[in-house]
């Protein structure tokens, strides 16, 4: 549906390893910042959507995480909806909140995502990701991953999602001519962007040579080409235009479109789910790829950035490597991609990732992103994928925002 909602405020923690912090303390930091940014009080919030993905498995806080977190802020009585939708959890919470405002059900709502994935037992985080596929048909996934996998692939502890992404990378290289150097170039580019983001998990600069020389996780992917697990939270306050006018809210950002799409098995010649969802989002927003000034996309590994650039229409199929080589996706280029550092540098606490993208785009469209500001940014796009079914993402969330 066409959205009629505004972002009044955003907040975010630094992503990273927060073993000494609770789920609620991370969420409170992001929510408090979003409310302060909006100039609102907790009592102004009429409903909330709480995104929590892996944390229930990691912490044992199941079923009522949103209510527990908000109770600690003195927020009760209002409807609280707990949301879990793989890596698109936070963007799903955001989309649902925007839709309810657009429908006129509420005037001021909260969406937030929070995650705790770091644990002394690393296998527990892998177990979280293990459920983001079709567990009833494991043979289908194993066959997909095994096809074309090098015999000397390292026997390194890793999430099997890295094997999925490695297969995608090999397939993409075959059809586009992308090389390992291209994938390393994205890591280096996004390390430049992440070095300018004080909330990024990794803020050091990397060269292409350093990326290529790093340990191989699943060929052709080296460690810096892969997003890390993480802890963190992000939040957004969404309001109706009438509420924004009455409260004099400063610099609200317009939600032009926000939609969810689920996996399907495309027939010959049919587009993948991200391509399909992007077309729907552009249509609802009344814009095209040529209108986009900056993009935050789901680079769970660096090859995904090239694949998604094509799916979003930033270039034609097979031209992702040329788009990268032209400098268009680097800060200062025609359409900078992942100026936050992306998942590979900003981090990927899966329950918070989608709203971290919204946070970044909101700063960019307000002109408040500091050293990583995209000059003249007016329209931004967020693409957030999650899970894996068949041969594609299980869910894709698309958002188009404007000044």
Residues belonging to the active site = 87
φ, ψ for residue 365 (rounded to 5)? Answer: -70, -20
Closest CA to 348 of 335, 339, 357: 357
Q: b or e along 159-176 (b: 16 or more beta carbons within 10 Å of the residue's beta carbon)? A: bbbbbbbbbbbbebbeeb
Q: How far apart are CA 304 and CA 300, in angstroms?
A: 7
Rg (CA), the chain: 20
Contacts (Cβ under 8 Å, ≥6 apart) of 258: 3, 5, 94, 95, 98, 99, 281, 397, 398, 399, 400
φ and ψ of 81, to 5 deg: -110, 120
Instruction: Give the Cα separation of 379 and 402 in Å (integer).
Output: 4
């Amino acid at each position: 549906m066409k959205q009629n909602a505004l972002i009044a405020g955003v907040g975010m923690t630094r992503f990273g390893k927060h073993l000494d912090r609770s789920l609620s303390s991370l969420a409170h930091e992001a929510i408090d910042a979003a409310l302060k940014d909006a100039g609102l009080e907790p009592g102004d919030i009429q409903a909330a959507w709480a995104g929590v993905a892996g944390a229930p498995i990691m912490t044992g806080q199941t079923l009522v995480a949103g209510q527990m977190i908000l109770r600690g802020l003195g927020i009760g009585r209002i409807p609280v909806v707990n949301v879990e939708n793989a890596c698109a959890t936070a963007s799903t919470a955001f989309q649902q909140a925007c839709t309810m405002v657009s429908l006129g059900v509420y005037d001021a709502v909260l969406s937030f995502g929070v995650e705790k994935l770091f644990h002394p037992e690393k296998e527990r985080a892998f177990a979280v990701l293990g459920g983001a596929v079709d567990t009833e048909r494991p043979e289908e996934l194993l066959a997909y991953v095994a096809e074309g996998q090098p015999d000397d692939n390292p026997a390194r502890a890793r999430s099997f999602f890295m094997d999925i992404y490695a297969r995608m990378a090999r397939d993409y290289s075959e059809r586009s001519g992308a090389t390992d150097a291209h994938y390393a170039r994205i890591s280096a580019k996004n390390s430049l962007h992440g070095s300018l983001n004080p909330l990024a998990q990794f803020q050091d600069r990397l060269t292409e040579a350093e990326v290529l020389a790093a340990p191989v996780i699943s060929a052709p992917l080296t460690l810096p080409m892969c997003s890390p697990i993480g802890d963190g939270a992000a939040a957004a306050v969404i309001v109706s235009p009438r509420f924004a006018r009455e409260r004099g809210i400063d610099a609200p950002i317009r939600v032009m479109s926000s939609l969810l799409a689920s996996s399907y098995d495309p027939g010959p010649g049919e587009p993948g789910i991200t391509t399909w969802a992007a077309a729907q989002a552009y249509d609802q927003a009344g814009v095209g790829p040529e209108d986009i000034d900056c993009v935050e996309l789901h680079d769970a590994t660096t090859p995904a950035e090239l694949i998604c650039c094509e799916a979003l229409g930033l270039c034609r199929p097979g031209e992702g490597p040329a788009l990268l080589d032209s400098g268009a996706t680097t800060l200062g280029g025609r359409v900078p991609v992942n100026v936050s550092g992306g998942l590979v540098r900003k981090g990927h606490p899966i329950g918070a990732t989608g709203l971290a993208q919204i946070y970044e785009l909101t700063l960019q469209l307000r002109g408040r992103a500091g050293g990583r500001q995209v000059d003249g940014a007016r329209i931004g796009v967020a693409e957030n994928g999650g899970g894996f079914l068949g041969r594609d993402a299980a869910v894709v969330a698309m958002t188009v925002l404007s000044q």
